[in-house]
Amino acid sequence: MEKLHIGIDLGGTKIEAVVLDSNLNTLFRHRILTESQKGSEHVLCQIENIYLQAKNSIKDKKHTLGVGTPGSLSKSTGLLRNSTISCQNGLPIDSLIEKKLDHSLAIENDANCFALAESHMGAGKNYDLVFGIIMGTGCGGGFIHNGKLRTGPQRLTGEWGHSVINPNGPKCFCGKKGCVSTYISGTGLEMMINENLKINTSAEKFLNQTSYSQKEEDILNRFYEYFGLSLANIINTIDPDIVILGGGLSNHQHLYTKGLQMVYKNIFCEDPNTPILKNILGDSAGVIGAAIIGKKEFMKNG
C-alpha cells in the first residue's frame, strides 16, 4: 500500500500542513494562524486542528508525520530551546504533540527541513553536499549529505548563525556578542540601521532601495562584508557542492552578485566557484521538508 507523508511546519505567525504521496507530489496543503499569544495549549490545539484536516483529506489512510519547528530539542533535556514561538520553549513538544495527535512523529529544526526539501526537490537536487541557509528573523542552516540530513552529536550542525565573527559586536539573544545573526539576519540588519540612522525600517525594504546616502551605504557595505565572511567560513570548513539561500532576505538579488563576490574574496582558494543560489521552493520548503523528515530513510543519526 502506498505510504503518505504529512508534514506540519510551525511558524511564529502561521502553522502549515501538507500531505505528500510516495513520489513527493502534494495532495493537500493548508495554513492557519499560530496565535501563540494565546499560549502553548492553544498552539497545540491549532496543530491538532490542521493535522485533522490533513488526515481527513486522505480519509485517515496510513501516513508518516514530520514536524518542523523553530529552535531545537536539547539533546540533554529533550526540551525545546531557542524557538521564536516562545510559549513552547522549555516544553517537551515532541511528546506533547505526539500525545495530542495520537501518532508517532519525527521533529526537526525548520532550517534543517528547508535544506532537506531543497536538496530533494529544489535548487540542490543534483548536488551531494548541500548547505541550506535561512536569512530571516534569525540565521539558521542545514547540512545535507547524499540526500540525508546530518544533525550532529549535539544537534548543532548548521547553527552558523551563532558563530561569533566579532567578539566586540552587538549583543545577541543567545548571550554572546557579534554572532553572524546580529549582522546579517533581518533583525540584525534592522538593529544596525536603527542604531546608526535612528530610523525604523524593514531589512528587506532597506536592501531594495535604489539609492543610498553615505551613511546608509556604510551599513550596506558592512552587511555585505559580514555576509562574505560568514559564508566563506562555512565554505572553507565543509566545501559544500552548493549553498542555497532561503528566508526573507534571500529575495535580494544583489546577494548573488555583489554578495557572491564578497564570499569569494574570503574563500581560502585562488579560483572559488561554489554556487550560491536562491531556493526554488520558496515558502513551501519548510513544510515539504517536515513531511520528508517523517520518512525515516532521509534521516541520518548523528
List own/partner pairs for 18-21 with CB under 8 A and 24 or more apart: 18/54, 18/284, 18/287, 18/288, 18/290, 18/291, 19/54, 19/57, 19/58, 19/63, 19/291, 20/288, 20/291, 20/292
* Residue 79 in grid coordinates: 526540551
Decide: 28 and 54 in contact? Cβ < 8 Å: yes
Pick 105 or 192: Cβ nearer Zn ion: 192
Q: Please, which of residues 91-120 interact with Zn ion by CB under 5 A?
A: none
Decide: 8 and 68 in contact? Cβ < 8 Å: yes
Q: Which is nearer to Zn ion, 176 or 278 (CB)?
A: 176
Nearer to Zn ion, 175 or 302 (CB): 175
Nearest distance in Å: CB 285, Zn ion: 23
**Closest separation in Å from C-beta 172 to Zn ion:** 3
Q: How far is the CB of 49 from Zn ion (least distance, A)?
A: 34
Residue number, 140 or 289, with CB nearest to Zn ion: 140
The CB-of-161 to Zn ion minimum distance in angstroms stands at 7
Among the listed residues 147, 149, 170, the one whose alpha carbon sits nearest the alpha carbon of residue 158 = 149
Give CA–CA dist 113/7, Å, rounded.
10
Q: How far apart are CA 104 and CA 301, in angstroms?
A: 18
Closer of 53 and 89 to Zn ion (Cβ)? 89
Q: How many residues bind Zn ion (CB under 5 A)?
A: 5
Separate counts of helices (H) and strands (E) for the chain:
9, 13
Q: Which of positions 75-94 make contact with Zn ion (CB under 5 A)?
A: none
Q: Provide the mask over 168-207, with x wherever binding to Zn ion is found by CB under 5 A and - wherever it is not.
A: ----x-x-x--x----------------------------
Residue 37 CA to residue 58 CA, distance in Å, equals 31
What is the spatial distance between Cα 185 and Cα 134, in angstroms, rounded to a whole number?
A: 9
Q: Which is nearer to Zn ion, 55 or 162 (CB)?
A: 162
Q: In the range 150-169, which residues lie near Zn ion by CB under 5 A?
A: 162
Least CB distance to Zn ion at residue 86 (A): 16
Q: What residues line the site for Zn ion (CB under 5 A)?
A: 162, 172, 174, 176, 179
